[in-house]
Chain A
Amino acid sequence: MRLGRGIDMRASARKWIRVGLAGPMAVISALVMMAGMTQWLPGGDAGIDNLVLPLLLVPLLWAGFFFHACLDSRLSRVAILSIGLTMVHAGMVADRFVNSAPGPAQALRP
């Protein structure tokens, strides 16, 4: 009986963790990744690809995070990927703020 309740609780907790990863976490990850991509994407010939591509890709990034959270059977993998990418990109933006005064457009060019 206690074992059964434990399994139920684990299943319920897993369900809510998955909902959290597919719901709010997918939104946060997509938005943070959009901000972070401006730091590592090449600017291209016009020097604007790093600004425009993240804006274009954000709906697809969100869909990627959402469906990965829904379909990957291993929640730990979903969490590691989602949180990992979010942390890395948030770190890039934070590094930009800490190490250089933001502003001039030429600073963006890779």
Chain B
Amino acid sequence: MIHLEKEDTKLMVAVHGWSGILLGLLLYAVVITGMAAVFAEEIGIWSAGHVQTSSAFQRPFDRAVRALGERTPEKYHEGVDLFEVGDRNMGVFFHRHETDASGNLVSRGIYYQLDAQGRVASERSGTGEEVFGPRNDDALSSFLVDTHVRLHLPNPWGLLLTGILGLAMLVAAISGLLIHRHLFKDIFTLRRRANPVLVDRDRHSVAGTWSLPFAFLLAFTGSFFSFFGTVGVPIVAMAAFGGDVQALNDAVFGNPRAVDERPVAVGNLDRIAEDSIRRTGEAPTFLSIEHFGRADSQVTSFHLPGEGGLEPATLLYDGATGRFDRAKPSIGTTPSAGGTLAAIMAPIHFGNFAGLLSKAIWFGLGFAMCYVTLTGLRLWLIRRKEAGRSLDWLERIVGAVGFGLPLGLVASAAAFLISMPVGSAVFWTPAAFLVGFGGALVLACTLRSAAMLDRVLQQATGVVLALLPLLRLATGGPGWTQALTVGQPVIVAMDIACILGGGWMVWRLRRLGVSSGRERRAPILQAAE
């Protein structure tokens, strides 16, 4: 328990409330899309019907990359990134680092997408930002991630905004902790038979308190990611390297080695991948080749954290011979406190350090955060109503955003399932979100009451969510038998989750509808704190 003076507590209550009110709705948008994005990979597999289960790094790719090296201008051999795209196919980005007209460090080169046979399926030239756009088969997961990361605003404004939202969440979490006079008692207090406002307050308090450490971690890691490239790196590069961002990158991420520009063919990449899988037990998530085709070439393979660990595994190979050099930290050349802390930021934020179990926990805690944000806004509005300052318009906006965003998201999923087979998912996925969310805003202006708005939006969301599996099957997605046969149980699990989630929403509303008439009394209003 933290004891504050009465005045300080009042100030913290104000800080807690206003940090939520000013940025709460945007924060809610970031948290709800982040909650869904925890399963971005699984959503991608489910929505696009991916049936390939072996990694692109487990199939031969050396010959294809070697052939790409021959057709790619040598100026783009400075770095080659290899990673998975689509249904376990390979993306290869030959590039060099350069400074653009605005003074920003960018990667420019040629991005190839290979098909399952290793043939070039597409080829794009430009900077990383230009070539890595959403594709037809990953438009839904890309849309979720892009909304979460930068709310679809251009760089750097989107990242700055989500960084500020992260700080607002940090403030709400810390001030929420400070204003609890009886923290341990509050954690276990759920008065089910009290008046509705007290019940809501208890639920907000319990959900908020239990998810407090999680909220703190997410806010901290999220704001770190948002500010890292936009503010942090330029300032640290200015202070330590006179503004040379590339020098900072080399110092932190580089693998220093004596320069040897003699042309030497790259070592066998298939063998490197095979060896890295043998050593870590996992296929690489990413393979990076520095100085492709030179004697001083180095290959780094990146892997998810091993069992029981938080830090991702990283192995270094001699690029010219393909010989294993050493296991290295993800950041820095030798293990260090800063490197380890920086390396575990991503697993902590994404919740992918223990497979589906940690992802499910992160999803659940994300749901709790959405609940806390929404009920916090509602309680703040009730306090205003109690003080005779009813804000009906704000109540409707909270309802429209709170329940309109989930509606927009399920609408975008439905549109993706329909439009992906005809190749127009990149357009229709965000368009359907706008239609769904826009519809919610229109209803907020036209429906009789905020309560009715909540009900209609939740009903629509539940129905669309429950129908998504049918839509997926109707548009040619793999059936349950096929999915289980090829080893993709995640498709079946996602279908069941949609049916259960949507069914629960509809059932809950029906149950509330029956009980609301006899149980809802005029609330005895109390401060939300």
Chain A interface residues (CB < 8 Å from chain B): 31, 34-36, 38-39, 44-56, 58-60, 62-63, 66-67, 70-71, 73, 93, 96-97, 101-105, 108
Q: Are B332 and A46 in contact (CB under 8 A)?
A: yes
Chain A residues near B8 (CB-CB < 8 A)? 70-71
Residue pair A52, B244 in contact (C-beta under 8 Å): no
A108 touches B240 (CB 8 A): yes
A31 — which chain B residues lie within 8 A by C-beta? 231, 235
Question: In the complex, what's the smallest C-beta–C-beta distance from B167 to chain A, in angstroms?
Answer: 6
Given contacts A35-B235, A38-B240, A49-B339, 9 further A-B contacts (CB under 8 A): A48-B331, A50-B338, A55-B224, A58-B231, A59-B224, A63-B171, A97-B242, A102-B241, A105-B250
Interchain CA distance A51-B333 in the complex, whole Å: 14
In the assembled complex, B342 has its CB within 8 A of some CB on chain A: yes
The 8 Å CB contact of B342, one of A55, A59, A60, A103, is A55
B523 interface contact, C-beta 8 A: no
Interface residues of B in 192-247 (CB under 8 A from A): 219-220, 223-224, 227-228, 231-233, 235-236, 238-244, 247
A-facing residues in B9-45 (Cβ within 8 Å): 11-12, 15
Q: Which residues from chain B contact A55 at a C-beta distance below 8 Å?
A: 224, 228, 232-233, 236, 342
Please tell me if the beta carbons of B242 and A103 are within 8 angstroms of each other in the complex. yes
Are the CB atoms of A70 and B12 closer together than 8 Å? yes
Q: A55-B233, A63-B174, A105-B251 are in contact. Are A46 and B167 (CB under 8 A)?
A: no
> Does residue B252 face the partner (Cβ distance < 8 Å to A)?
yes
State the CA gap A70–B9 with chains docked (Å).
Answer: 11
Q: How far, in angstroms, from A54 to B174 measured CA to CA in the complex?
A: 21
**In the complex, which of the residues B5, B243, B244, B341 contacts A56, with contact meaning CB atoms closer than 8 Å?**
B341
Query: Are A46's CB and B335's CB within 8 A?
Result: yes
A-B residue pairs in contact (CB < 8 Å), sample of 6:
A46-B329, A52-B338, A55-B342, A56-B342, A59-B220, A96-B239
In the complex, are the beta carbons of B238 and A35 less than 8 A apart? yes
B255 to chain A, nearest CB (A): 12
Nearest Cβ in chain B — how far from A19, in angstroms? 11
Q: How far is the CA of A46 from the CA of B334 in the complex (A)?
A: 5
Most buried by A among B235, B239, B244: B239
Among B11, B170, B219, B251, which residue has its beta carbon within 8 angstroms of that of A108?
Answer: B251
Q: Please, which residues of chain A bring their CB within 8 A of the CB of B334?
A: 45-46
Roughly how many angstroms separate A36 CA and B342 CA in the complex, as a whole number?
19
Q: Which residues of B contact A53 (CB under 8 A)?
A: 337-338, 341
Contact among A49, A103, A108 with B338 in the assembled complex (CB-CB below 8 Å)? A49
A49 to B331, CA, bound (A): 10
Asked whether, in the complex, the Cβ of B244 is within 8 Å of the Cβ of A44, the reply is no
State how many angstroms separate the Cβ of B66 from the closest Cβ of chain A. Answer: 33
| B481, CB-defined interface residue at 8 Å | no
Bound CA–CA A23/B236 (angstroms): 22
Give Cα distance in the complex from A43 to B187, angstroms: 42
- Nearest Cβ on chain A to B395's Cβ, whole angstroms: 28
Question: Is B420 located at the chain interface by the 8 A CB criterion?
Answer: no
> Which of A45, A50, A52, A97 makes the CB contact (< 8 A) with B331?
A52
Question: Are A48 and B332 interface neighbours, CB within 8 A?
Answer: yes
A36, A54, A60, A97: the one contacting B220 at CB < 8 Å is A60
Contacts A49-B338, A51-B236, A53-B341 given; does A62 touch B167 at CB 8 Å: yes
Tell me, in angstroms, the Cα distance from A37 to B12 when the chains sit together: 30
| Interchain residue pairs A-B with the least CB separation, the first 3 | A102-B242, A46-B332, A52-B338
Per-residue CB contact flags for chain B residues 168-197 toward chain A (1 = under 8 Å, else 0) read 001100110000000000000000000000
Is the Cβ of B336 less than 8 Å from the Cβ of A44? yes
Contact of B11 among A50, A70, A104 (CB under 8 A): A70
Question: Which A residue sits closest to B220, measured CB to CB?
Answer: A59
- Choose among B170, B239, B338, B341 the residue that contacts A63 (Cβ–Cβ < 8 A): B170
Known contacts A66-B171, A71-B11, A103-B247; is-contact A35 B239 (Cβ 8 Å): yes
CA distance A35 to B228 in the complex (A): 13
Chain A residues contacting B12 (CB-CB under 8 Å) are 70-71
Residues of A within 8 A of B228 (CB): 55
Residues A51 and B232 in contact, CB atoms below 8 Å apart = no
A47 to B250, CA, bound (A): 12
A29 CB to closest chain B CB (Å) equals 13
Distance in angstroms between the alpha carbons of A105 and B249 in the assembled complex: 10
Give bound CA distance, A70 to B8, whole Å. 8
Contact B4 A52 (CB under 8 A): no
**A55 to B163, alpha carbons, bound, how many Å?**
13
Question: By the criterion CB–CB under 8 Å, are A34 and B236 in contact?
Answer: yes
Contacts of B252 in A (CB 8 A): 48, 51-52
A62 CB to nearest chain B CB (Å): 6
- A48 with B251: in contact, given A35-B236, A38-B240, A105-B241 (CB under 8 Å)? yes
Binary contact readout B308-329 vs A (1 if CB under 8 angstroms, 0 otherwise): 0000000000000000000001
Whether B231 lies near A51 (C-beta < 8 A) is no
Bound together, the chains give a CA A59 to CA B220 distance in angstroms of: 6
Is the pair A45, B335 in contact by a Cβ cutoff of 8 Å? yes
**Do B239 and A59 touch (CB < 8 A)?**
no
Tell me, rounded to whole Å, the shortest Cβ–Cβ distance linking B241 to chain A: 6
For B15, B233, B338, which residue has the most chain A Cβ atoms within 10 angstroms?
Answer: B338
Q: How far is the CA of A59 from the CA of B239 in the complex (A)?
A: 18
Set of chain B residues within 8 Å of A96, measured between Cβ atoms: 239
In the docked arrangement, what's the CA distance between A43 and B341, Å?
A: 14
Q: In the complex, which residues of chain B have a beta carbon less than 8 angstroms from the beta carbon of A105? A: 241, 247, 250-251
CA distance A107 to B439 in the complex (A): 59
Which chain B residues lie closer than 8 Å to A73 at the CB level? 5
B333 CB contacts on chain A under 8 angstroms = 46
